[in-house]
Every structure is written in C-alpha cells, then in structure tokens.
Structure 1
C-alpha cells in the first residue's frame, strides 16, 4: 500500500430486523427539537413513518417535519431545509429514506448556520465547515449511496446545470444509522437495481486505479463477488432477507472510505453521470450505468493489468491461451451482460439525452484525476456519444 493516511469513521450502526429500537438508545443524547427529513411520502404508506413518530414521541421530542426531498436534492430545497432547521432550533436532523434524503440532511446540517451562501461556499468553492453543525441520524430505506456512513452530500443546481458532491469530514458523518433490510423490500424494481449499480460503481471507481499490491483491492473483489451473487437472487426474489441484508451491508462498506485508503481513486463515471443528471434529473444509478461501459472501454488500455485482474478475480474469466487485452475485454463483456440481465439503463437516449445536448453535458462534467487516463473535453464528448 502506498502513502500515509488517517482513518476515522465515527458512525454507529444498528443493523437487522430489530434495529429501529436503536433510536431509543440514541435520541436521549440530543435535545428536544428534531427535524424529521423524508422524501415523497412512501414511508407513510409502508408504515415506517408511524413507527419512527411513535419512538420520537415516546422520547418526548418536538418534531418539525421537512418532507418532499427529491431524488436529486436541489439547492432551493436546501435553502428551505435550512430555514426549517433555524426556526425549529433543531438539535438533531433525523433522515428517514434513501441516500438522497441522507445527503440532503447532511447538507442542511452544515448549511443552516452558514453565514455565506452554502452553494457557493461548499459546492463551488469546496471550503471546509467553520460554523455550527447540526448532528444527523439516519433510518435507511433504500441502499446504494453509502451516505449512511460517510460525509458525502450531493446537491443539484438546475439553473447552473450542475450536480456536485462535497465530501465533508468526520464531523458531518451521521452520528448513528439504522439499517433494517426489511425496509428495502417495498422499493420498486427500477429503484432497487439502480441502487445495486450505484454500489457496484462505488467499488469499481475505487478499484480501477493504482498498480501496487493493495489490500483494499482484495477487499473490493470480495465485495463485488458478494454483490453480484446477492443481486441476482434479489431481482428474482426481492424479499429474500439474506440477499437484501448482504446488499445493504455491501453498500455501506463500499463507500464508508475504508477501501479508498492507501489508493488513488477514479470518480469520472460519477462525474459523467452527475452531469447527465443535472440536465435530465434522471435516477442516479441509471445515469452511471448508461455511461459506464463507454468510459471503462476508453480507460481499459491505460490500466490493462487491473482490468485483466478484474476479469479473472471478479468474473472468473479463464486467461489460458488469451492475451491480456482479450482477458480484460471479456471481463467487461461479462460485466455488461450482468448489467443488462439486471435491467439497468444502458444507453443515455433512454434517459432523454440527445446528441444536441452533449456539448452542454460536456461543459457540466467536472474532470478529476486519479484514474489511469484523465480525459480531455473531446474525449468526454466521445465517451458520451458512445453512451447514446
């Protein structure tokens, strides 16, 4: 492993069918005012809302609801949440939902008492937090983002055609997260498979970088094999507890920063997908799926050894009698076949993208280094064109 690093993850996890009881352990640690954050109301239909409210009331909390968090939380919604937090004098923000709800809660936590425009400060200038932070807790109902155990918070600005994530330090991590796999059962198949691919892509974006013998790469190969196995079961039987619990646990460990330690990382698929989402408001996991194969085929020749290893150790490609390039290509073909079987969106046109939109998406794409090849604007346009 290369370099020097520090690892800290302060989030306490409660996992399993009885994990919601963990709220009774955590709520007494905070003041009386709780800002309850959730999305479009599905938690009221499936009964989770009533269970959470019962526990909040039993602990004597004053609840201030902040509903309507959208799949790609907007800067305008962020401003609204900050106003609610200040007026409620929130002592805790409790996010009940998927990754977007958790992301939004963390964005509100750092922005409510920010004396500057939080979009400008945290998302355009990427400054550190130097103001009061409201603690966050999460009750997870959809898996994929890993937001329940990291400091990431992604916000969309439709006017500027930008979707940007800020990864804050451990002060912003959720103080606790409740992970009950049963809560994910009612997700529509489209959302479930989008989340599954978001998990896979989090792993591959950290895996496809570096050339050293890194323990993190072995961990990621194991996570990928488990995800592939469990996801195939889950799409056939969405209420298979073992499969759904494995997927939930993999999602958390895919992006709680553990496997990134000692590595460079390549987040260009996310940058491409987020640029697409800024123009289409499409589901996050599907934007990633639509651009992934074109990007990985572009970068494969520059990281051939790792792509060969990926093919052999994750997809069981037999290298006998084949060139390194043939092995690597076969691995990507197996990945593509798996994605198609899962029912993922494989082309940008299915998300409403046209060739006329590509120049704008190119301009919205943030370019990051860390990968085997940093693409220029012309190469980004070609990758997007090949994703149509």
Structure 2
C-alpha cells in the first residue's frame, strides 16, 4: 500500500427489510423540525411516503416538505431548498429517494447558511465549509451513487452548462442511512441498469490507477465480480432479493472512500459523463456507459499491466498463448459484451449528443491527473467521436 492515509466514516447504516423501524431511534437525536426531501412522487406510489410521515408525526416532528428533486439536481433547486431550510430553521434534512435526492440534500445542508454564493464557494473554488451544516439522514430507494455513505454532491448549473461533483468531508456525510433492498424493486429497468453501471464505474475509476500490488485492488476485483453476477440475475428477475441486496451493498462500498485508500484515482469517465449530462440532461449512469469502452481502449496502452490483470481476475480471460495487449483487449471486449447484455446505452448519440456539442463538452470537462494518461482537450474530442 502506497502513501499515508486516514480512514474514517461516520455514517451509521441500517440494512435489510426491517431497517425503517430504526428511524424512530435516530429521530430522538434531532430537534423538532424535519425537512422531508424527495423526488417526483415515486415514494408515494410504493407507500413509503406514508410510512415515513407517520413515523415523523409519531415522534412529534414538524414536517417541512421539499419535493420535486430531479435526476440531475439543479443549482436553482438548491437555492430553493436553502430558502426552505433557512426560513424554517430545520434541525434535520431527511432525504428519501435515490442518489440525486441524497446529493441535493447535502448541497442544501452546507449551503443554507453560507454567507456568499455557495456555488462559487463550494463548487467552483472548492473551499472548506466554515458555516453551520444541517445534519442529514437518508432512506435509499435506488442504488448506484453510494451517496448514502459519502460526502459527494453533484449539482448542475443549467445556465453555465456545468455539472460539478464536490466531495465534502466527513462532517457532511449522512449521519445515518436506511437501506432496504425492497424499496429498489419499483425502479424502472432503465434506471436500475444505469445505477448498476454507475457502481461499476465507481469501482473502475479507482481501480485503473497505480501499478503497485495493494489490498485495495483485490477488494475492488471481488466487488466487481459480485456486481457482474448479481446484475445478470437482477436483469432477468428484478425482484430477486439476494441479487438486489448484493447490488445495494456493493454500491455503498464502491464509493464510501474505503477502496480509494492507498491509491491514486482516475475519474475521467465521470468528468466526461458529467459534461455530457450538463448539455443533454441524460441519465448519469448511461453517460458513463457510453463513454467507458472508448475511453478505456484509448488509455489501455498506458496502463497495460493493470488492464491485463483486470481481464484475468475479473473477466476470467485465459492468458495462455496471448500477448499482454491481446489479454487486455479481450477483457474490454468481454466487458462490452456484458454491458450490451444487461441493456446499457453504448453510444452518446442515443443520449442526445450531436457533433456540434463536442467543443463545449470538451471545454466543460474537468481534466484530472490521477489516471494513466492526462488528456488534452483534443483527445477528449477524439474520445467523444469514438463514443458516437
């Protein structure tokens, strides 16, 4: 393991079919005023809204609702949420929904009492939080982002066409998260599959960096194998509890900072995907899917040793009689076959991207240096062309 690091995660998880009952215990730790955040109403269709409201009322809480959080939460929506939180002096933000609802709630939690524009302070200048933070709790209904156990918050500025992810410190992590795999059954197949690839991409972004032999890579390989197996089962039978519970648990561990320890990290697939979403409002996981294979084929020669290992240890490629490049290429070919099998979008044209957007997308893409190749704007445009 290279480098020095500190690992600390303050989020308490309640996992399983009976996990909602523990909300009663958690509510005792906070004041009377609760801001209930959710999306466009799916939690009402499955009856979860009524259950949560009953628990809140039984515990004497005053509820301030903030519905309508969209799949790619906008800055305008964050400003509105800040107003609700600040005007009502809420004691707890309870996010009920998927990763976007959790991300949005974190943005509101740090921004409500920010004395300047939180977009400029926290998302552009990436400054530390030095104002009051409203604690949040999450009840998860869709897996993928890992937002239930990390400080990540991705927000879209529709005016500037920027989609920026800010990773806050442990002080912004959810205080608790409730994970019941049954709540994920109602998610449409398209969204389920997009979430599955979001999990895979989180793991790969951290895996494809560095050349040292470290424990973290072995953990990632195990999580990937579990995800591949369970996702194939879930696509055929979305109500297979074992598969859905394994996917939910893998999503949490893919991005709760554990598998980043002792490694550099790439994250360029996410950076390009975010820029695409800012232009098209496409589903996050599908932007990652459409970009991944062309991107990894482009950088493979620069990290050939790891791509060879990936092919053998994750995709069971037989290395006998093959060159390192042939082994690595076969691994990516098998990954592409799997992606098509579970129904992912494999090109950005299907997500609404047109060639006249290339320059803008490349310009909006944050270029990072943690992976095997630091891209130029021209190389990003080449990759985008390969993604069409």
TM range (shorter): over 0.9
Q: How far has the Cα of 1:22 moved from its partner?
A: 1.1
Gaps of at least 5 residues in structure 1 are: none
Q: Distance in 1 between matches of 2:337 and 2:29?
A: 48
Q: Distance in 2 between matches of 1:369 and 1:158?
A: 26
Question: Residue 34 of structure 1: SS of its match in structure 2?
Answer: strand
Q: How far has the Cα of 1:284 moved from its partner?
A: 0.3
Q: Distance in 1 between matches of 2:282 and 2:238?
A: 23
State the partner residue of 1:10. 10
Q: Distance in 2 between matches of 1:109 and 1:214?
A: 36
Q: How far has the Cα of 1:247 moved from its partner?
A: 0.1
Deviates more, 1:9-18 or 1:348-357: 348-357
Q: TM-score, normalised by structure 1?
A: 1.00
Q: How far has the Cα of 1:326 moved from its partner?
A: 0.2
Question: Residue 133 of structure 1: SS of its match in structure 2?
Answer: coil
> 1:262 aligned to 2:292?
no
State the partner residue of 2:163. 163
Q: What RMSD over aligned residues (CA atoms) do the two structures have, in Å?
A: 0.4
**1:1-388 to 2 correspondence within 5 Å?**
1-388=1-388
Q: Distance in 2 between matches of 1:90 and 1:213?
A: 47
Q: Distance in 2 between matches of 1:92 and 1:113?
A: 14
Q: Distance in 2 between matches of 1:357 and 1:228?
A: 33
Q: Distance in 1 between matches of 2:288 and 2:88?
A: 37
Please give the per-residue CA displacement for 1:11-53, whole angstroms capped at 9, x wherever unaligned: 0000000000110110010000000000001101110100111
Please give the per-residue CA displacement for 1:29-88, whole angstroms capped at 9, x wherever unaligned: 000000000000110111010011111011100000000000000000000000000111
Please give the per-residue CA displacement for 1:287-332, whole angstroms capped at 9, x wherever unaligned: 0001111100011000000000000000000000000000000000
Q: Distance in 1 between matches of 2:128 and 2:294?
A: 34
Q: Distance in 2 between matches of 1:15 and 1:328?
A: 37
Q: Distance in 1 between matches of 2:52 and 2:236?
A: 30
Q: Distance in 2 between matches of 1:321 and 1:65?
A: 62
Q: Which segments of structure 1 move beyond 3 Å, counting only runs of 4 or more?
A: none
Q: Distance in 2 between matches of 1:300 and 1:247?
A: 27
Q: Distance in 2 between matches of 1:63 and 1:120?
A: 30
Question: Residue 139 of structure 2: SS of its match in structure 1?
Answer: strand
Question: Residue 50 of structure 2: SS of its match in structure 1?
Answer: helix
Q: TM-score, normalised by structure 2?
A: 1.00
Gaps of at least 5 residues in structure 2 are: none
Q: Distance in 1 between matches of 2:353 and 2:370?
A: 28
